[in-house]
Amino acid sequence: MIGFTLLGTDGAARRGRLATAHGTIETPAFMPVGTAATVKAMRPEEVAATGAEIVLGNTYHLMLRPGAERIAALGGLHRFMNWPRAILTDSGGYQVMSLSALRQIDESGVTFRSHLDGTRMALSPERSIEIQRLLGADIAMAFDECTPFPATEDEARRSMELSMRWAARSQAAFVDRAGAGLFGIVQGSVYPDLRRESAAALAALGFDGYAVGGLAVGEGQAAMFAVLDKTVPALPADRPHYLMGVGKPADIVGAVLRGIDMFDCVLPTRSGRTAQAFTRRGTVNLRNARHGEDPRPLDEACACAACAQYSRAYLHHLARASEILGSMLLTEHNLRYYGDLMRDLRGAIETRSLADFAAGFAALQAGGDVSPLES
Amino acid sequence: MIGFTLLGTDGAARRGRLATAHGTIETPAFMPVGTAATVKAMRPEEVAATGAEIVLGNTYHLMLRPGAERIAALGGLHRFMNWPRAILTDSGGYQVMSLSALRQIDESGVTFRSHLDGTRMALSPERSIEIQRLLGADIAMAFDECTPFPATEDEARRSMELSMRWAARSQAAFVDRAGAGLFGIVQGSVYPDLRRESAAALAALGFDGYAVGGLAVGEGQAAMFAVLDKTVPALPADRPHYLMGVGKPADIVGAVLRGIDMFDCVLPTRSGRTAQAFTRRGTVNLRNARHGEDPRPLDEACACAACAQYSRAYLHHLARASEILGSMLLTEHNLRYYGDLMRDLRGAIETRSLADFAAGFAALQAGGDVSPLES
């Protein structure tokens, strides 16, 4: 059981606080992705300095390497990766479908071959929950099937109903302990009736939090927001709402406006390794030749090391030379951008000025890569 | 002109202090290599925390990308790479011969094609010194030819004499300024008479410091030490002695015993990116499967983050997963190892106990990768 306190609202948006065995998380919150027991190119204390209070670990990657039982023997994932704050683990369901080979799915679960070495492995609701317990997750996710997109309504129903049966099995397998909780995952593709039915089924089971899954899979922002408009009101209001795998800054702002409390996405970290920077005025590609002689900081209003201590010309040089320091600095910058965005969103909800904040955000971002910051 | 104060001696070994426009350097000193305006996988403040007071920049790499004139326009190399302490730049002579394509050497200098994009370029004593001035080096190196190994005595003489003419041209081109200096480079391969002749020629010109070049090119440690035994006594005693491109910890200890004050080498940084760790008890390959479940620190006596905050099992995992954090942590560890070694060597000279220190060092290192640390 984990605590969730709703501190205030602004329209559908919520300001809250999660309490776990590894500290509290102010919501709305963004969770950096630490796939293989590391947020890539970052030391854990640097991750915390960007404002992150919780990171995500990937069950699929960790069960393959180094193995859940090994991490448990070494004291759990927090100790293994030197991250003393909260950790949410996914169930492995999404990545076993997107990364593994020769996968076969049936009522019992999924069998597959590791994308690393071809080893034959299996995941089921029971094994996923066991792995997440071995890792020591503060928040575990129910094992589900991420419905492929696009899907017909019949396909989406069959997939959603399987996920609901797996959610019940996940819940039965989960051993409750203080400061740790289990979230259910709403499926149903882009079909409002299926989403509402899924939300009701999960609410009847009773979870510590409710995630919206199966989005950010190619449906586009408008369709995603339409699903949220129909789905979030059907989620229990006294529990946190988590939009999985989202997203771009504008996606996050729109989802917070619709009542989402938690996010995760590889975008800030992956982009940091490909010289893409997020800024108040849109994204900046630091490989672009026009940065080569620019002595200005990436964003003069940002307090991260990349902006405070280096020029765009230097960041451009590191990107062109494929230097590891470039990945380090831009990952830090992007996580700081996301951390600052979440802090500002929380502040706007507290002062009930979220609509104004969102309008200002959209106006500044509109320029994108040809904004004043770029000229 | 840079200052050098000889603080004490222990046999041939010397305890000294260099004074540059960007701070003092306690010697014997190790200089981490920051080839492309970054010590790979390290933030500059992390480099400083390992004990480094000076880093090396590579003229060849920087002239190719981003270009010396560009770095000068951006305020010089210190500002560009956010390293406020001292910088020594090499002359480009060694790397133009080892890395570039279609190089042609004559009395005037070297023409070549960039290994990055094939651009036709040239280096000469005058251009090398100009580039090093544009970079803002605290210590510049005379342009020389690193004599190939092996070389006949005739080949070595012709090469050394060319380098001596280039040294005179380098000195003529160098614009003296407060806190910046120019070092000459002794050549002569493994031939004691040539080495002494080269040292005498440079001493007659008068440099701020004297480097021993053309070693660590395949001749082996015994031959290298034999050259030092004949060469270092011929160097002006009131000026710093720099052994270029060296080396393994045991090479450094032996060279300090023979009167060398400064070192640079890619070994600690490059090894950090290939999971090779230097420790008091020899080198450790963290990719080895026997580290996979080992909860102990890499070296319980080391204060670096890799040793203080992580297990060998985690470092092994990062290495196997090719995670950037593995390169970051092991580079920091290796630079800390080198920094601690230099600190201990300085302390042993101060207390005139260097012979005992060297004996203890050799006994501990002898175990290598099968030492107690490994079992």
Query: Could you tell me the two tokens for B235?
Result: 């160097």
Residues of chain B with pLDDT under 70: 367-375
Which DSSP string corresponds to A24-78?
A: EEEESEEE-B-TTSS-TT--HHHHHHTT-SEEEE-HHHHHHTT-HHHHHHTT-HH
**A43 to B313: CB separation less than 8 angstroms, yes or no:** no
Specify burial of residue A182 (Cβ count, 10 A radius: 0-12, 13-18, 19+): buried
As a whole number, mean pLDDT of residues A214-219 equals 94
What per-residue confidence (pLDDT) applies to A367? 58
3-state secondary structure of B74: coil
Strands (E), chain A: 3-10, 13-20, 23-27, 29-31, 54-57, 86-89, 101-106, 109-113, 120-123, 139-141, 181-186, 209-212, 241-243, 262-264, 276-279, 282-285
A83 touching B (Cβ < 8 Å): no
Q: CB of B35 within 8 A of CB of B42?
A: no
Mutate to test the interface with B, among A35, A317, A332 (most CBs of B within 10 A): A317
Mean pLDDT of chain A: 95
Longest CA–CA separation in chain A, Å:
60
Please report the pLDDT score of residue A372 as a whole number. Answer: 42
Question: Are the C-beta atoms of residues A298 and A319 closer than 8 Å to each other?
Answer: no
Ramachandran bin of B67, using left for φ above 0, alpha for ψ from -120 to 50, beta for the remaining angles = left
- Check CB contact of B318 with chain A, cutoff 8 Å: yes
Query: Would the pLDDT of A40 be above 60?
Result: yes
Interchain pair A82, B314: CB under 8 A: yes
Mean pLDDT of A321-331: 98
pLDDT tens digit sequence for A123-136:
999 999 999 999 99
pLDDT at B100: 80
**Which residue, B106, B177, B168, B121, is CA-closest to B143?**
B168
How high is the pLDDT of residue A247?
96
Q: Which residues of A touch B36 (CB under 8 A)?
A: 317, 321, 323
CA angle B170, B13, B149 (to 5 degrees): 50
How far A100 CA sits from the closest chain B CA (Å)?
17
| Cβ distance of B323 and A38 shorter than 8 Å | yes
**High-pLDDT (> 70) share of chain A, %:** 98
Q: Which of A10, A264, A299, A340 is catalytic?
A: A264
| B310 at A interface, C-beta within 8 A | yes
Residue A138 designated active-site: no
Q: CA-to-CA distance for A18 and A20, rounded, in angstroms?
A: 7
Torsion of CA A122, A127, A133, A136, to 10 degrees: 10
| SS3 call for A321 | coil
Please, what's the largest Cα pairwise distance for chain B? 60
- The answer, yes or no, to whether residue A205 has pLDDT greater than 50, is yes
Give the per-residue pLDDT at A373: 43
What is the pLDDT at residue B375? 34
Please check whether residue A278 touches B, CB under 8 A. Answer: no
Query: Which of B43, B81, B292 is the closest to A66 by Cβ?
Result: B292
Domains and CATH numbers, chain A: 3-265 (3.20.20.105), 272-374 (no CATH)
Q: Exposed, middle or buried: residue B231 (CB in 10 Å: 0-12, 13-18, 19+)?
A: buried
pLDDT tens digits, one per residue of A133-176: 999 999 999 999 999 999 999 999 999 999 999 999 999 999 99
* Residue B36 near residue A319, CB atoms below 8 Å: no
Dist CA B168 CA A287 (whole Å): 41
Residue A370 is predicted with a pLDDT of: 41
Based on the residue annotation, tell me whether B264 is a catalytic residue of this protein: yes
Q: What is the pLDDT of residue B373?
A: 43
The C-alpha angle with vertex B129 and arms to B126 and B135, in degrees rounded to 5, equals: 140
A366 confidence band (pLDDT: 50, 70, 90): confident
Interface test with B, best of A43, A312, A325 (most B CBs within 10 A): A325
A273 vs A280: CA distance, rounded Å = 19
> Which tokens in the block code for residue A249?
């800054």
Mean pLDDT of chain B: 95
